Every structure is written in C-alpha cells, then in structure tokens.
Amino acid sequence: MTRTIIFMSDLGLRDELVGVCHLVMNRIAPEARIVDLSHGLPPQNIQAGAMVISHALPYMDATAIVLAVVDPGTGARRALAVETRAGRRLVGPDNGLLSLAWQADGGVARAVEIDPRAVGTTTVSPVFHARDLFAPAAARLAAGMPLEDIGPVAEGSRLVVLSVEAAEAEPGRVHGQVLDVDRFGNIRLNVRPPDLERAGFRVGTTVEIATTGISIRARRITAYGDVPPGEYGLLVDAWEWAAIIRFEASAAAAMGVTRGDPVWIAAAN
Amino acid sequence: MTRTIIFMSDLGLRDELVGVCHLVMNRIAPEARIVDLSHGLPPQNIQAGAMVISHALPYMDATAIVLAVVDPGTGARRALAVETRAGRRLVGPDNGLLSLAWQADGGVARAVEIDPRAVGTTTVSPVFHARDLFAPAAARLAAGMPLEDIGPVAEGSRLVVLSVEAAEAEPGRVHGQVLDVDRFGNIRLNVRPPDLERAGFRVGTTVEIATTGISIRARRITAYGDVPPGEYGLLVDAWEWAAIIRFEASAAAAMGVTRGDPVWIAAAN
Amino acid sequence: MTRTIIFMSDLGLRDELVGVCHLVMNRIAPEARIVDLSHGLPPQNIQAGAMVISHALPYMDATAIVLAVVDPGTGARRALAVETRAGRRLVGPDNGLLSLAWQADGGVARAVEIDPRAVGTTTVSPVFHARDLFAPAAARLAAGMPLEDIGPVAEGSRLVVLSVEAAEAEPGRVHGQVLDVDRFGNIRLNVRPPDLERAGFRVGTTVEIATTGISIRARRITAYGDVPPGEYGLLVDAWEWAAIIRFEASAAAAMGVTRGDPVWIAAAN
C-alpha cells in the first residue's frame, strides 16, 4: 500500500537540505510518494507553517503522513510523531507547528517522541533533525511501521499548542492584524467571513482600512478581477481569510505593512 | 495508461498554492505523473507564461496534458480545456496564455469551458481557480475523462490570442525589445535568427547595441564561454531568441534594462 | 530495475530550464525517479555545487546517477560521464564540479566524453548542454545504457579537479574563510571539527571572531537553540563545517560578510 508523505518546511530550495531529506525518505520507503507542499515559508515562522498545513489538510487523504519542519529551537524541544483523531499521522517538532492540524482533526489520539534508533539513525546531528529524525520517522510510518514503534509515548496534554489571535468585530468596525503577505503583495488578515458579516461589510460595501501609517479606501469584492485600476479591494481568499488586494500591484508595498501590523477596518462615510 | 500533467504557473513556491494543486490532482488521478515546468515566473505576466509553454512543447509527448495558470483576471474570463490539432490537451484561463502553444500545434481542434460539477468540484473559490477548476480538469483528463465531458463547447474562433510583437530588421540594423531577463541577467530580445541574418550580423561581427540610456559594443558569438572578460556578447539562446550576455555578470544590471525596453542594434563602425 | 537520477544545477526554478530537462529525461527513461537535489545555488559557483553533491553522496545508493550542471564555460569544456570507484555514475561538465564526489568515492574508475549521437541528440544548442547533452546522458544511463556506449574514453588523469582551501589552525587561533551563507544567514566557514579541536575551541569556550570589518564574541555551542537572544554562536553544522550563527537572525547580515571573506578566530580573553 503506497502512502503519501506531504513535506512542508522552511528549509528553502537554495541548497541541498530538502533534496537530502528526499533521498533519506526514498531509501527507507521507496514506494512512498512525496509531495512538496512548500519549502519557501519565511524562515522560523511557526505560525505561517502551521497555517499552511491546516490549509492543505482538507486535500489530504486519511492515510497521508505530514512531515513538517519549521524548527527554530532544534535541539531544545521534543521531536514528535502524532496520530490525530481523524487517523492522520503528523511528524515534526513539538513547538506548535502541528497543533492547528490536529485541532482541525479533532485532537491528538496518540503521540510519541521519536527515538533515533527506532527510525534507524545512528548519529543525530544536533542541527539537522529534519534529515536525521523527522524524515526517517515519516518514511518509517509510510513504510508501515506502527506509531508506537517510533518511540516512547509523549503525553498529549502537554504538547505545545499554537494560538492564533482572533480579530475583534462589532457592527461597523473590525480590528485585526496582518497574518501574512503573499507573493503578489496581497495582505492576509486574521479576519474571517463571520467577522465581516458581524461588521456589516457585505460585497459592494466600501470600507476605510487604517494602519498606524496610512488609511485607504477599499470596496468589498469577490474576485481579484473585480478591483478597478488603481484601487484597493477587500475579499475573502481561498482559505477563508479576509485579504486586502490592489489592482495588479502589491497592496503590502503600497500600504507599507508587514506581518503582525494592526489594521482597523471601518465603514466608510 | 499513465498520462503526464505538465504544470506551469506564476503561483510561486513560497506557500502552499502549488502543493495543494498537486494534492488535488493526486486524489483524482493517482497514477498521473506531474512535472513542474515552472512556478517562478514574474507574477501575472501572461506573455512570459505563454512562451515557457511553447518552449517546452517540443519536449512533451502527444498525450501530455498542460496545466497552465497565469491568471490576473481570475473570475472575469472563461476557464478552458482545449485540444490542439496535434492532439495535446491544454487547461488554463482564456486570456491568451495557451494560445502560443495551440498555434505551434496547428490550432485548436476542440475547446470546452470547464464545468465545476463535471470535474467534481462542489464549491469554487472565486479567487483560486487553479485549485478548484484547472487542476481538477487536468486530472480528470489524465484519468481518462473525454474532453467533451469537461464542460460545454467554447467557440474556438473567439478564444483570446496573444500576439508577440516582432522585431524589425533591415541590412545593418535591427530594432527590437526586451522580452525577458533571466536568472543570470542575460537579456532575451524579440529578435530571431532570421532577423540577425537579414541585418548581416554573423558570428564574429561586432555590433553596437543601444537602449534609451546606454550604448555598448558586443560581438556576435556562439556560446556563453566565447565572451571575453569584461565584454558583452550577442548570441542565439536555446529557444532561438537573440540574447545579450556579459562575461560572468548580469548584462541586464550593467545596461539597466527591463522587460519591454526598446533596443536598437546596428553594425559597429 | 528503476534507477534514481539526482539532479543538481544552478539553473534556478524561475523559468522552464529545469522542467524541460525533466521532460527530456522522462521521455528517455520513463521509469527513472528524478530527485531534485537543488537548483537554487548561486549562479556559476562551481565550488558550491561540488560541495552540495558531496554532502548528499552518503545518502545516495550505489546505483544512483548524479546529473550536475553548474557550467559557466558551456561550450569550452568537455561534457563528461564518469563512473567512480564506488560504482556511482556522475554526469556533468569537466570543470571540477564532479571532482569532490569522485574523490569521496575513491577516485574515477572510468570516464567518457558524451557523444551527442550516442545519447540520441541530433542538434546541440551551444548554450544549453543541460538539455541536449547532460540530461540525455543521465537518462540513457538510467535506462541501462553502459557507460562506454555514451562516448569515447576521456583520460581520467586529465580531468579538472577542484581544490577547496583548508583553514589554518594552531592552539588558540584558526584562520579560515567564508564558504557560504545559507538561507538563514548562517555563515559556513572552511573550518572542520579537527581545526576547532587543534585550536582548543571546545563546546562552552568563548571565542573572538574577526573579519576585516568587525569583531564579535561567540560561544561554541552544539545546537541552534543554544544561542541566547542577541548573541552569536559557533557550531558544527550538519555537514561537519564550522558555522557562525545568530539568535533568530542573520549572522551574515549583522557581520556584513560574504563568500570568500577571511575570518580569524581566537580564544577570547
């Protein structure tokens, strides 16, 4: 039975880090298919990594194994293999990276701490657990090793959980923050469709969006193509987050915002 | 029978967009092989995308399916699946992106507009047709669904066609423009070998190349290694475009040119 | 018998170069698995390419075929297929790129110069040997063609060999240079664990690290997570090179160093 390993990291594609992890997995589980979900995330941004995994979750089948590595504290946290209540297996550091995924899957069913010998590693570099612990563990699971053979049980209730700050919404206003800026310069906010609804910002409504440095007007639209030349738009993106966009240009560059910046949205007069 | 899906987009490898499209296709057509042609093109540059596809066309077999997404007008144009006269299937937006490929293949044999239900999508995000329309359509074709089952017929004669401006050549001079600047800083021009021949710029000839801001001398050479230290060269690149290069340096940075800039080439005195 | 082709280049993922090489190989050797080791190396940096291959070597099985393209002198050097004494096959330009790998494998057993007709190429672009010579040769080998059928014998003793400058170490001081700066801004030095040992820089020791422009203090640590906020650390990286790192920041940006810069490390008072 062929398993798919879905590999996500902040290791980048500049050098051999990701490729060597592929070689390690191919050796242990030659039949497994490896899908590279992304390796280009902002380095060491655990929240961005956790969101990427949870966005992809609905498109993974139940036998998929997630290998996730965003690991600023390599060597100072536990190395985990987790089975969710939905039966998916997640492999990665115990720093919250996997937590949005297991929450979306109804929680942790079982968790173990990866034992190097169990996954066939004799020497573990203290600076490259992706190669020496996480990739081998994911490949062993893909090759059929049961979770409990990967290492000793890790107490599920003590695993690190990430919290994503929610926006505050009331009629006529939403206060949120910048979650991410994508390749096109679109600004993703921690604002969800129910927040927009609560504030009364329907499609066609014009709002005023303020940061600490600038204030612009935007119309709530549906698709990227709906924004007129030179103008801003506010839409719900493909993962159900509100995003500020600009006509064939970078909204983030024009507004001068970056991850974490506060944003106030109010009904325009 | 295993089909190959050749996937090209401007979605970038920074986040999960490309990876999620892979997951969607793996589910529908687990046997298909997906080759990533490129996802790093300048965002929203339809012409660059169309050229990449046509460059790769001679290396694709006749059963290959092209999935192409450069889609600034998502939501405001039709979503197509096209069969060329050479029998290849192309999936992408109706914005000209596919047109250089079908022209190289002798034209469009049949075209349909993708019906979400036909490809198994229940909800279409207005901002991510790659995931919800194009990837599913390409995967359905790879899994054996006939083109006519993908959606209603789209009138072939009304499909958007891209036109690439040709250079002007006469004995002793060529007037063209910058098509692209590659990773090495080499400057690709819309100038073809027959233009160089018409102007009399043979290998060994020295020419003067002028932009609006600078004028340099270059010798017509054959290979990158033929250009002496500190100098410029003019050569025919691997896709039969004329290109300006510089010895182990970026010609584009040195000349200060960018896509679309006019270039005049004249015989040097 | 399915072979793996391990593909490394400086071609980048911006455009179609790498993808077209995949298409070329899929046609010749449809059963081969292609692993992309890296395509994002600094353009034309042969030493960086050679090191990437040698880092990955221990993770490749003996039947693997390495396809390596960092080729500033395309057209002015020989195109090689080499079999190492360990039985691995390496394909690439004769510019030193492959030499660290065959040295690690005990030397060259046999080498041939790629004959275009032997690998099925009718026209060779003088500017894209990756597509027209190297990828076809690697794929022919993967499909079972014997090395001697790829082209005429190349005299092994006359192949270009790369030399990586060694650091100088004595008790209390090491003089080395910057080999590379990675995605995280970590600075890799040409300093090996025995150099650190010779100098007496054990884990826990504080050293002074000077460049021509700046001098900083760093503690020898074991893992990235061991460096305190705002401070520098000196550690042994996953490939057994000494590296200067900074707490969740770019050491290279803070120190203003770049590849090739000299570095002096001395015991701190």
Of the residues C11, C15, C21, C24, the best mutation for testing chain B's interface (the one with the most B CB atoms within 10 Å of its CB) is C15
Q: Which residues of A touch B73 (CB under 8 A)?
A: 224-225
pLDDT value of residue B214: 94
Contact A33 B20 (CB under 8 A): no
The answer to whether residue A89 scores a pLDDT higher than 80 is yes
Residue C83 bridge partners (DSSP): C89, C110
Residues of chain B positioned with their CB less than 8 A from the CB of C22: 35-36
Counting residues of chain A whose pLDDT is more than 70, the rounded percentage is: 99
Query: Would you say B104 and B57 are in contact if contact means Cβ atoms under 8 Å apart?
Result: yes
> Residue B16: its chain A contacts at CB < 8 A?
8, 37-38, 52, 55-56
Does A50 score more than 90 pLDDT? yes
- CB atoms A36 and B19 under 8 Å: yes
List residues of A whose CB lies inside 8 A of any C CB: 11-16, 18-20, 22-24, 26-27, 43-44, 72-77, 125-128, 131
Report d(CA B101, CA B51) in Å as an integer: 8
- Contact residues, chain B, for C43 at CB < 8 Å: 183-184
- Out of B91-95, C173-177, C182-186, pick the least confident: C182-186
> How far apart are alpha carbons B142 and B140 in whole angstroms?
5
Residue with tokens 């090179």: C241
List CB contacts (< 8 A) between A237 and chain B: 125, 127-128
Looking at residues C154-177, what average pLDDT do you find?
92
A148: phi then psi, degrees, rounded to nearest 5: -70, -15
* Sequential DSSP letters for chain C: ---EEEEEESS-SSSSHHHHHHHHHHHH-TT-EEEEEES-SPTT-HHHHHHHHHHHGGGS-TT-EEEEE--TTTTSS-EEEEEETTS-EEEEESSSTTHHHHHHTTSEEEEEEPPGGGGT-S---TT-HIIIIIHHHHHHHHTT--GGGSSSB--GGGS----PPPPEEETTEEEEEEEEE-TT--EEES--HHHHHHHT--TT-EEEEE-SS-EEEEEE-SSGGGSPTT-EEEEE-TTS-EEEEETTB-HHHHHT--TT-EEEEEE--
For C2-30, what is each residue's pLDDT tens digit?
A: 799 999 999 999 899 999 999 999 999 99
Q: Which chains have 3+ CB pairs within 8 A of A?
A: B, C
C6 and A19 in contact by Cβ < 8 A?
yes
Task: Tell me the chain B residues in contact with residue A248 when contact means C-beta distances shorter than 8 Å.
Answer: 44, 72
Higher model confidence: residue A202 or residue C163?
A: A202
CA-nearest residue to A40 within chain C is C183
- Å between A150 CA and nearest CA of chain C: 21
- With CA atoms as reference, report the closest residue to C81 among C42, C124, C44, C116: C116
- The mean pLDDT of A173-190, rounded to a whole number, is 94
Question: Which of A15, A129, A131 has the most C C-beta neighbours within 10 Å, making it the best mutation to test the interface with C?
Answer: A15
Neighbours of C, requiring at least 3 CB pairs below 8 Å, are: A, B
* Nearest CB neighbour to A225, from listed B22, B73, B128: B73
pLDDT value, residue B248: 82
For residues A120-149, average pLDDT: 96
**CA–CA min distance C185, chain A (Å):** 10
pLDDT at position B41: 86
Along chain B (269 residues), what's the average pLDDT of each consecutive run of 10 residues?
A: 90 94 97 96 90 96 95 84 96 97 95 97 94 98 97 88 93 96 92 97 97 95 90 95 93 94 94
Cβ of A225 and B72 within 8 Å? Answer: yes
Would the CA dihedral through A249, A254, A259, A264 be positive or negative?
A: negative
Q: Where does residue C31 fall: left (phi above 0), alpha (psi -120 to 50 degrees), or beta otherwise?
A: alpha
Give B118→chain C minimum CA distance, Å. Answer: 29
Q: How many CB atoms lie within 10 A of CB B33?
A: 15
0.90 surpassed by complex ipTM:
yes
Q: How large is the C-alpha radius of gyration of chain C? A: 21
Q: Kindly list the residues of chain C whose beta carbon comes within 8 Å of any beta carbon in chain A.
A: 4, 6, 8, 13, 33, 35-41, 48, 52, 55-56, 59-61, 180, 182-184, 222-226, 235-238, 248
The whole-number average pLDDT for the span A34-48 is 92
Tell me the pLDDT tens digit for each residue of C121-140.
999 999 999 999 999 999 99
A10-36: pLDDT as tens digits:
999 989 999 999 999 999 999 999 999
Closest CA to A116 of A144, A161, A75, A83: A75
Q: Which residues of C touch B (CB under 8 A)?
A: 11-16, 18-20, 22-24, 26-27, 43-44, 72-77, 125-128, 131
Please give the pLDDT value at position C184: 87
Question: Hey, what are C36's tokens?
Answer: 């992309």
Selection from C11, A213, A185, C215 nearest residue B14 by Cα: A185
The rounded distance, in Å, linking the Cα atoms of B269 and B233 is 17
Contact criterion met (CB < 8 Å) for B44 and A248: yes
- Give the pLDDT confidence score for residue A156 in this predicted structure: 66
- Picking from B59, B88, B220 by the largest number of C CB atoms within 10 A of its own CB, the best residue to mutate is B59
For residue C181, name the pLDDT band (cuts at 50, 70, 90): very high
Q: Mutating which of B7, B31, B33, B35 best tests the C interface, going by the most C Cβ atoms within 10 A?
A: B35
pLDDT at A76: 75
Q: Which chains touch B (3 or more CB pairs under 8 A)?
A: A, C
When the pLDDT of each residue in chain C is averaged and rounded to a whole number, the result is: 94
First to last CA, chain C: 61
Residues of A with CB below 8 A from C38's CB? 13-16, 18-19
Q: B238: which chain C residues are within 8 Å (Cβ-Cβ)? A: 125, 127-128, 131
Q: Which of B268, B180, B254 is nearest to B220 (CA)?
A: B268
A53: how many CB neighbours lie within 10 A of its CB? 26
Residues of C with Cβ-Cβ distance to B33 under 8 angstroms: 26
Query: Which among C5, C8, C37, C57 is the top mutation candidate for probing chain A, defined by the most A β-carbons within 10 Å of its own β-carbon?
Result: C37
Pick the residue from chain B with its C-alpha nearest to A61. B27
Give the pLDDT confidence of C197-210 residue by residue, as tens digits: 999 999 999 999 99
Q: Quick check: A200 pLDDT over 90?
A: yes
pTM confidence score: 0.94
Looking at beta carbons, which residues of chain A come within 8 Å of B125? 237-238
| pLDDT for the residue numbered C1 | 59
Q: Kindly indicate the confidence band of residue C102, based on its pLDDT and cuts at 50, 70 and 90.
A: very high
Contact state of A238 with B26 under an 8 Å Cβ cutoff = no
CA distance B93 to C156: 53
Residues C80-97 as b/e (b if ≥16 CB within 10 A, e otherwise) read bbbbbeeebbbbbbbbbb
Cβ distance of A13 and C40 shorter than 8 Å: yes
DSSP structure class, residue B101:
H
Q: What is the mean pLDDT of residues A215-225?
A: 93
Contacts of C40 in chain A (CB under 8 A): 12-15
Share of chain A above pLDDT 90, in %: 85
Position A214 pLDDT exceeds 80:
yes
Q: How far, in Å, CA of B36 to CA of C10, rounded?
A: 17
pLDDT at residue C163 above 90? Answer: no
- Spatial neighbors of A84 by CB under 8 A, at least 6 apart, are A90, A101, A102, A105, A106, A107, A108, A109
A93 in Cβ contact with A159 (< 8 Å): no
